[in-house]
């Protein structure tokens, strides 16, 4: 199967799973922004996404997308290290026009996945997972809240400056990952040429900035709300 | 004005493909800045021979930037710090008096070291043999205007054909990927009507050979394009991806 045993096929899987995750991020960021304007609206989305069959099905598809992207990242990195050979260069210089992010996608991906673990224990585990386990109340700080009360989770976690700082670091790593990942995915699919390469790079930068600003805005908004 | 400079060279010495290599340091005085990098290495070798030592083995041939024979990874750059030139076109005026210059061979699993700075680049020839050509029945000379080709396509094909197959792309790539080379060789033919007929077969065969020879997977870092002595664009890589994916979907 050429998707598995050719270099371009493997890259295509990496690219399509990446674009899929980018679309998810767009959805997640839009959903978060709703919380700023109306906590009821945000909670309505949370209950809609609770343990309903379609939300669980979509989560499984999403998890598959993540897993494929991560497994292929590890596989490609190992293959590429082997292709580089056992002897490394003594002097390494990053040429002009080569983005730092493009050469550090795996490290950036590791950082993103690491923080994803934190995010899961704070939110997903106590929300969707708790609901799936049949709990109608979960402990959050000193009180008990409904696993569908997403706004309460946001208020609780984003009132802690350390959590806020960690999330902001996460968004920065994500920004670097996206600025390269987006246009690189398009290039791998082949939808690029001399003119469109520059356009896709500009779109990647704008898109990554918008997504990360949306996430950061919600995080900082709720922190300020908690101290004011 | 060009003057004479004193330099320190850190050169990779390796007796054979299986031997363990190491850097040797040499001092070279009164090197004319007007000389090319390879001429400087010739001077070094003369000095080594006079001292009764083994000269440094390095690849070179035409010394005018078209044969693709010279290589060398100089101070972290394939073909040295200058842009859009091969090592043979690199001049010593790019280096300052008292400079330390580190010279390494291409390092890539696809290009094993033969000796010192010389690597085996036969892998690129094998990729070409897999399909980097047009099959024609020889006959009379066709009329120059028999096959009209748009200027834009002719220009793009010519830009891709500027690739001299030196291997700087795979040497510069952190993934050891040969995609810039393969994409240039696929593009120069796929863009022209004469090459279109075999385009699908060519893309599949050349990529399969590239993968088989152990080159890495392209992650679009653009190092190849930045270091290419002929400034071949990565838009060729997008074209190769297109050609390859379309060919595979047609199967």
pLDDT digits (tens, 9 = 90+) for A151-186: 999 999 999 999 999 999 999 999 999 999 999 999
- Chain A residues whose beta carbon lies within 8 Å of the beta carbon of residue B233: 194
B71 part of a folded domain: yes
B115 part of a folded domain: no
Residues B228 and B144 in one domain: yes
**Which residues lie across from B91 on neighbouring strands?**
B36
Which domain-ending residue is among B104, B137, B167? B104
Report the helix count and the strand count for chain B, using DSSP H and E: 9, 7
Residues B19 and B89 in one domain: yes
**Which pLDDT does position B75 carry in this prediction?**
97
* Furthest-apart CA atoms within chain A: distance in Å: 59
Question: Cα separation of A192 and B187, whole Å?
Answer: 14
Query: Which residue in B216, B223, B239 is closest to A98 by CB distance?
Result: B223
B34 part of a folded domain: yes
Does domain A2-87+99-227 sit in CATH 1.10.3720.10? no
Residues B211 and B134 in one domain: yes
Confidence of residue B96 (pLDDT cuts 50, 70, 90): very high
From residue B233, alpha-carbon distances to B98, B156, B227 in Å are: 35, 10, 11
Q: Is 90 exceeded by the pLDDT of residue B99? A: yes
B109 part of a folded domain: no
Question: Cα separation of A142 and A47, whole Å?
Answer: 23
B110 part of a folded domain: no
Residues B36 and B126 in one domain: no
Contact predicate A79/A11, CB 8 Å: no
Locate the chain B residue with the closest alpha carbon to A101: B221
Other Cβ atoms less than 10 A from the Cβ of A177: the count is 23
**Which residues lie across from B26 on neighbouring strands?**
B9
Domain that holds residue B32: 4-104
B144-158: average pLDDT:
93
Residues B61 and B162 in one domain: no
Gap from B176 CA to chain A (nearest CA, Å): 5
Contact B241 A187 (CB under 8 A): yes
**What domain count does chain B have?**
2
Residues B157 and B73 in one domain: no
B92 part of a folded domain: yes
Gap from B56 CA to chain A (nearest CA, Å): 18
**Which pLDDT does position B141 carry in this prediction?**
82
Q: Is 80 exceeded by the pLDDT of residue B1? A: no
Which domain-ending residue is among B104, B139, B158? B104
Q: Which comes out higher in pLDDT, residue B115 or A134?
A: B115
Residues B96 and B130 in one domain: no
Going by C-alpha positions, the residue among A73, A103, A82 that lies closest to residue B176 is A82
Residues B128 and B245 in one domain: yes
Locate the chain B residue with the closest alpha carbon to A186: B238
Contact B176 A85 (CB under 8 A): yes
The domain spanning residue B231 has which CATH number?
1.10.1060.10
**Which pLDDT does position A39 carry in this prediction?**
94
Residues B89 and B138 in one domain: no
**Which pLDDT does position B137 carry in this prediction?**
79
From residue A8, alpha-carbon distances to A196, B5, B229, B240 in Å are: 20, 47, 25, 9
- Chain A residues whose beta carbon lies within 8 Å of the beta carbon of residue B223: 94-95, 98, 103
Going by C-alpha positions, the residue among B59, B76, B81 that lies closest to residue B68 is B59
Tokens 């040797």 sit on residue? B24
Residues B94 and B147 in one domain: no
Question: Cα separation of A64 and A60, whole Å?
Answer: 6
Helix extents (H) in chain A: 2-5, 7-37, 39-48, 53-84, 105-119, 128-132, 150-157, 161-189, 194-227
Helix extents (H) in B197-250: 199-212, 223-227, 235-250
Gap from B230 CA to chain A (nearest CA, Å): 15
B215 part of a folded domain: yes
Q: Parse chain A into domains and list their residue ranges.
A: 2-87+99-227
């Amino acid at each position: 199967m050429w998707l598995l045993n050719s270099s371009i096929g493997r890259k295509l899987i990496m690219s399509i799973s990446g674009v899929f995750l980018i679309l998810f991020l767009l959805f997640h960021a839009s959903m978060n922004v709703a919380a700023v304007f109306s906590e009821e609206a945000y909670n309505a989305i949370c209950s809609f996404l609770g343990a309903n069959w379609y939300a669980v099905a979509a989560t499984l598809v999403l998890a598959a997308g993540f897993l494929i992207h991560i497994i292929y990242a590890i596989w490609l990195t190992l293959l590429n290290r082997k292709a580089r050979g056992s002897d490394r260069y003594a002097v390494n210089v990053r040429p002009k026009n080569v983005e730092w992010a493009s050469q550090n996608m795996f490290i950036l991906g590791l950082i993103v996945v690491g923080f994803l673990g934190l995010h899961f224990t704070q939110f997903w585990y106590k929300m969707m997972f708790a609901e799936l386990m049949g709990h109608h109340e979960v402990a959050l700080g000193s009180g008990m809240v409904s696993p569908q009360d997403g706004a309460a989770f946001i208020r609780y976690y984003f009132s802690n400056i350390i959590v806020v700082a960690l999330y902001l670091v996460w968004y920065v790593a994500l920004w670097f990952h996206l600025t390269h990942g987006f246009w690189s995915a398009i290039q791998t699919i082949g939808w690029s040429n001399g003119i469109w390469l520059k356009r896709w790079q500009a779109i990647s930068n704008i898109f990554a900035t918008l997504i990360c600003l949306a996430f950061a805005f919600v995080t900082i908004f709720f922190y300020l709300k908690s101290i004011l | 004005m060009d003057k004479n400079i004193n330099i320190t060279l850190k050169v990779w010495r390796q007796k054979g493909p299986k031997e363990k290599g190491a850097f040797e340091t040499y001092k070279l005085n009164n090197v004319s800045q007007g000389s090319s990098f390879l001429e400087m290495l010739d001077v070094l070798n003369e000095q080594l021979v006079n001292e009764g030592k083994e000269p440094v083995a390095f690849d070179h041939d035409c010394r005018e930037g078209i044969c693709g024979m010279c290589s060398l990874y100089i101070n972290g750059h394939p073909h040295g710090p200058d842009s859009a030139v091969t090592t043979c076109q690199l001049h010593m005026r790019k280096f300052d008096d008292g400079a330390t210059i580190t010279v390494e061979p291409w390092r890539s699993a696809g290009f094993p070291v033969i000796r010192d700075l010389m690597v085996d680049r036969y892998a690129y020839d094998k990729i070409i043999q897999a399909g980097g050509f047009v099959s024609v029945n020889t006959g009379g000379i066709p009329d120059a205007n028999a096959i009209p080709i748009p200027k834009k396509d002719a220009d793009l094909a010519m830009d891709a054909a500027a690739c001299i197959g030196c291997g700087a792309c795979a040497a510069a790539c952190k993934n050891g990927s040969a995609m810039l080379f393969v994409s240039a060789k696929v593009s120069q033919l796929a863009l022209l009507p004469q090459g279109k007929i075999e385009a699908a077969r060519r893309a599949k065969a050349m990529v399969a050979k590239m993968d088989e020879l152990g080159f890495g997977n392209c992650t679009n870092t653009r190092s190849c394009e930045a270091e290419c002595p002929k400034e071949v664009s990565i838009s060729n890589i997008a074209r190769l991806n297109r050609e390859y994916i379309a060919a595979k979907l047609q199967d």
